[in-house]
Structure 1
């Protein structure tokens, strides 16, 4: 029985990989100094939740087959130092995924935005048609117990993140996967703490395209100028496929795909960005044996990935959506999508500044006009988050100036935000809440119930 120890087991990808290996018969242990839901409950259900929070070097022994190191750990982590001292093999999780998929066809979906949704669409269609496949995806999908799976399947579909692989490996995660098929969905400056220069950030996607083997396939969004520039470059002996938004029409708050045979197909997702995501997924699937007819049959029932334009609640006159959007390009696309789906309704769009980039004064200007698609634009940030991240304080005035929206409402405590939202007239209005965080624990179900009643 193989023995694997996870340093920072509570991470989104880390805990899912730990659970999958446990289900495959590995002896799995792990540590972390903080574990939040849903990781905590999921690990506990499998008997993998550490008995104590913290780092314990005594868990590291020479009989381990390997240690898998999460990005949340630091370079001076005592368990990492012990593993290095003993000479135990150390992998980042992307390295481990590659080591266990070298005999598979590897498909990697990358991009500053859209990658989770495209990956989820691909997995949904493959499952619909009972194909055998492995995967790694960044969000929960209906019908899938975990966000990671490794088996003897002939193909693996991977959401490729451009963030660092581990504290001791500064390469982007997606450069470890060495794909046969790669898709780039969009490039918009993100992770300013890792890529302080925009050109350096873009270059990572060029490296991904350059890594494709002979006869490999590059699929890219030709409507994104930066992606198109990467896609148009010369790469030796690879096939290139450009895509744009799938033709569609919106009627009464419902989106219908316009199919080649002049028929229409109702789908559950909406927005131009999702119509592009959908077309990218179609092209990926064509590379792994799914015909267009099979794709359309399956995609009609795709409801989206968790927290990606996820419906929180609705009645006849109001819808409430949440979205993981936090980068400027995502915020703009999601806001436009919901307004475009319900053009005659007043849209209240709320964004939480939560990531390192979004709270960085030098990056904040990238949000200029990104909320202009909303009728009422709201920004929330917590001074406590800035303190926790050891970042300089932000003022309400600085936020308003950088968003370049004279009507912007700004809040710094969630109860004031909640009071503001509940004071609005919601008949004929929609609400969109966007964040990679939780608005400091704001209860969306309770808020939804109060708004919709």
Structure 2
């Protein structure tokens, strides 16, 4: 089968492309404004990328067009279609489907799917779970919204033995809608036997009116888990308690709270794992932050449902290398006898920003580097942040940063006003060069420059390292 993917460079659609290619299908695709790591992965797989969504791509004559949710029926100011290729597909009656639907029909059928849902931590927890299963010898398939460093790819088919119970597949389960023609959340297509509900906050203000609307979608996911399956839920989240109270037909394992099935005892970088109060393993790793401790408990609980001993899972997590763009150190520059470190992180929701900054602060404090400064450079790029729905939470999310620099390009709200209560600790930059100039003016030895965006951020990381070195 030849499939042509519209929006191929998104993290999910890029993973679909990789799986289709591994399964022997011919894969081509198109997108606009591509950026690493997905563009690099696709090129390494030999998948041809076409810039833009021109109608002339129908000349490729694929068997199926797979439509990413970046595609819409929108029109530009002059009245022309924003996605001419989609209009041509519709006009000519050509076959098309969504990415989640294609994945469900061609990859997930007959497999034990382990789905990881939640407002935050989906990528990290999916990567953890896939690595735990791999370390246990289960050879899982997976599709993660990033590139787990333990594997080097964002997706693979894994072991597939027809009729065998060990056909495990770990998938990051997103609550965002499927496509412009299918407004259900992506995760309802996956039909998991093991479902992690990691956390749940209001997000995606462009498609959801309130938190209750998202809770309803999470309950749709719960409805698809069989009675022989398992729901692994964060016991600290009242929103998830409300979801489960709407009805649950599967066994539930909780984690996180003092009365949960799985709890942690110790610091986030070194803690005992307890199951119903009894020690069953110990995690000792390089990662900081309570959020990563909770992610680990979720992965251990889900792995236990498919027979992985918690002690084996905990030991495997000690060798977990995380995913790219999750507190990824992009480089260091020596200046005046000290180092300036530049990080890349995917955080964009205020809670994720706070969790990331706090996690770095906790790590530095634990290492005896309380005087090291954190320079948080962030881009409010998600649809929710562009709408300004959560702008009032930004000062709270950046509380532990010594200096915050907000890239305000493309916003319809006043970033300076939103950050005003931070005083001199906050600056606003209208474009990437301005943000770089502000970092260069402020940076000193021992600083940690934490760049946060759910996009490519104009390649700011490489430019910062280059210019910091030049001006050192």
TM value normalised by structure 1:
0.86
Cα distance in structure 2, aligned partners of 1:414 and 1:158 = 33
Look up the match of 1:389: none
- Of 155-164 and 19-28, deviating more is 19-28
Paired residue for 2:187, among 142, 155, 174?
A: 174
Look up the match of 2:141: 134
Runs of at least 5 residues in structure 2 that lack an aligned partner in the other structure: 74-80, 162-166, 257-262
Paired residue for 1:327, among 334, 349, 352?
A: 349
Task: Name the Cα RMSD after superposition.
Answer: 2.9
Look up the match of 2:422: 405
Paired residue for 1:372, among 381, 393, 399?
A: 399
Look up the match of 2:226: 213
Look up the match of 2:376: 349
Return the offset for 1:321.
3.1
Return the offset for 1:208.
1.5
The 5-angstrom pairing of residues 107-256 of structure 1 reads 107-150=114-157, 152=160, 154-236=167-249, 238-244=250-256, 246-249=264-267, 255-256=269-270
Look up the match of 1:91: 97
Return the offset for 1:83.
3.9
Paired residue for 1:73, among 66, 71, 77?
A: 71
Distance 1:303 1:10, change over 3 A: closer
Cα distance in structure 1, aligned partners of 2:33 and 2:452 = 24
Look up the SS of the partner of 1:28 in the other structure: strand
Native 8 Å contact 2:273 2:282 kept in 1: yes
Cα distance in structure 1, aligned partners of 2:433 and 2:2 = 47
Native 8 Å contact 2:285 2:318 kept in 1: yes
Distance 1:218 1:60, change over 3 A: farther
Cα distance in structure 2, aligned partners of 1:217 and 1:292 = 16
Deviations 1:203-243 (A, max 9, x none): 2212222332222211111112222332455423x111110
Runs of at least 5 residues in structure 1 that lack an aligned partner in the other structure: 387-391
Native 8 Å contact 2:343 2:451 kept in 1: yes
Distance 1:184 1:22, change over 3 A: same
Look up the match of 2:4: 5
TM value normalised by structure 2:
0.83
Return the offset for 1:449.
8.2
Look up the SS of the partner of 2:295 in the other structure: helix
